[in-house]
A and B are shown apart, each in its own frame.
Chain A
Amino acid sequence: MRAAARATPTDIAKRFRGLSDRALAWLFIAPTMVLLLAINIFPLLWAIWLSFTNYRANRANEVVKNVGLSNYQRILGDGDIWIAMQTTAHFVFWTITLETLIGFGLAYLIDRKFRGHAFWTTIILVPMMLSPAVVGNFWRFLYQPQVGLFAYVVSFVTGIPSAQVDLLGSVGSAPWAIVIVDTWMWTPYVMLICLAGLRSIPDYIYEAAEVDRASPWRQFWSITLPMALPFIMLAVLFRGIENFKMFDMVNLLTGGGPGSATEVASITLKRQAFESWRTGYSSAFAIILFVAVFGLANIYVKALNAVKQR
């Protein structure tokens, strides 16, 4: 009765067509949910179950034994896993630091709005749109000692013979080789988001600071940086998540080598799961990575919503 009393023309129109809003809402949302349940959640549950077993995908006929938490215990005590986590941490830390510094710097300069800035911004954005795998593969050629362009430029600038500039070949420099390619590719991403942050700062705040005779230095630290910070955080979090799970570029550029110098977490996972075929063990490692990314994603969505309010 109450519904009838509040009935608007829309409600009446709708009632004559049958379905309620609630049913319609589910009709719209359900197909997506069903797909995600089938392709994401069901396999995830399967992986959780596998992580408690000694299953090996290349020996499908072997009896599967429940091994309890022992996979998890072994991972936490496995020295190789900890080395992989350190390699990942090195990669994530340096890529984020470089990308944020260069990206913010570029955004700050582009915000000077010089002539042609839109054109040059588009040029700078190109690398991040490309396939990390296909372009990463080509960087192997650029990095080659002697014949590679990168080695040639380095030797031209520093005077070291080009044949000795072999970034991918030595354990010490290979981790930096992947940092360089990632920084080249993803600095534009950070730049674009920082630029949006800088442009969201209204001019009147700077005008007020100008009236108060605040120095440009002071303006930067008290206005520009704090107001762009939510955007910088957004970029940092997203790059953090992406680089934490980095696989394609590293797999093609170094394959984790030389030795295990660039073996980031995803490469270890691939080696365990698809080369050693330790399916149960690698599922446990996958679940641990899942939980870590899930936690980061949670923070990221909060940051997204914070930026949306602006």
Chain B
Amino acid sequence: MSLTTAHSVVAPTALSRRIAATIVIVYALISILPLLWIFATSLKTPPDSIAYPPKLLFQPSIEGYCNLFTTRTRQTPEYITSLGPATSFCDQVTRTRNMVIAGPSNFVPRFVNSLIIAFGSTFCAVFLGTLAAYGFSRFKVPLADDLLFFILSTRMMPPIAVAIPIYLMYRELGLSDSALGMILLYTAVNVSLAVWLLKGFIDEIPREYEEAAMIDGYSRMQAFWRVVLPQATTGIAATSIFCLIFAWNEYAFAALLTSGTAQTAPPFIPTIIGEGGQDWPAVAAGTTIFLIPILVFTVLLRKQLLRGITFGAVRK
């Protein structure tokens, strides 16, 4: 049995491959359907979105996006005709529903909050995580295994259980509903993932590189900065994306600890309502915009995904 024939004996037959492909593709199509439906709903008008039977073919409209970005008030037809010509497409669509645009909605500020908090906490978590991972990887730390378990266990805690004392603590410190408070909290949650993942990546960089550099006169810090960090770029990038996704998606803390100025998009999107209940095209539009960055990141990350979800234990 030479290496060249390694697959000949156990290779699946053509028929079994075809059956496997059919089942997997059917599953993939079904599982992606809700997401396609979100996208389709975002392009429907409110009446189309709740038509029976659900409409597969429809006249696309950006009304959902208009409603997402604006707040509107109902007006009499006389008032509307007394206004000048519509200044934008959204203006025009709103007027056909006997409403006028009253101002921008909270979506953009909430989305910006999400960006600030996600990027701020990711930067802090990866910065701290890289240092700690290097420490655990290269030095003999007393009780290293226990400390690493402690670090990981903080991530496993039920968020609501953590939120009770955090809520009280933030109230005392004046951090309630502040971006700084959320950044600190998400940093603490993400740093555990960052340490575990980055330790795996740094463990893979041969120690000989730094030792050689230190013989050449680099200090430990210089070796870390100029030798280890450049080698760990892929790992740092992958870790950053995982931290970003967590902070971007997080809901429990955001819903309990923010309500106004620092509220992020996940607790905001479900509160988008129109007249007579939830404005589903607007919710779908917000959801679509919210999900697109994640889809891009998932494609970028697909080779590192397994590592990320197992805290660096499974490397493929």
Contact = CB atoms under 8 A, between A and B. Distances in A.
Interface string B115-132: 000000000000011011
A207 B37 contact: no
A192 B309 contact: yes
Contacts of A39: 166, 184-185, 187-188
Interface of B: 1, 6-7, 9-10, 12, 16-18, 20-21, 23-25, 27-28, 31-35, 37-38, 41, 49-54, 128-129, 131-132, 134-136, 139-141, 147, 149-154, 156-169, 171, 184-185, 187-188, 191-192, 195, 211, 214-215, 217-221, 245, 248-252, 255-256, 265-267, 269-270, 278, 280, 283-284, 287, 290-291, 294-295, 297-299, 302, 305-306, 309-311, 313-314, 316
Interface in A134-177: 134-135, 137-142, 146-149, 152, 162
28 contacts: A25-B135, A26-B135, A27-B135, A29-B131, A35-B188, A36-B192, A39-B185, A50-B165, A114-B20, A114-B24, A117-B21, A122-B299, A123-B28, A126-B35, A126-B298, A131-B249, A132-B251, A133-B266, A134-B290, A141-B278, A146-B52, A149-B54, A152-B52, A247-B251, A279-B164, A294-B153, A298-B149, A307-B313
Interface in A119-134: 120, 122-127, 129-134
A251 B267 CA distance: 11
Contacts of B23: 109
A135 B269 CA distance: 10
A21 interface: yes
Contacts of A17: 219-221
A301 B7 contact: no
B283 A138 contact: yes
Contacts of A57: 167-168, 171
B195 A129 contact: no
A19 B222 CA distance: 13
Given A28-B131, A106-B24, A133-B249, A273 B139 contact: no
A111 to B, nearest CB: 8
A251 to B, nearest CB: 7
Given A141-B41, A274-B256, A120 B28 contact: yes
Contacts of A248: 251-252, 255, 266
Interface in A255-278: 265-266, 269-270, 273-274
A82 interface: no
B50 to A, nearest CB: 4
Given A50-B164, A126-B32, A152-B52, 10 more contacts: A39-B188, A40-B154, A112-B20, A134-B249, A142-B34, A192-B306, A196-B306, A207-B10, A245-B160, A252-B251
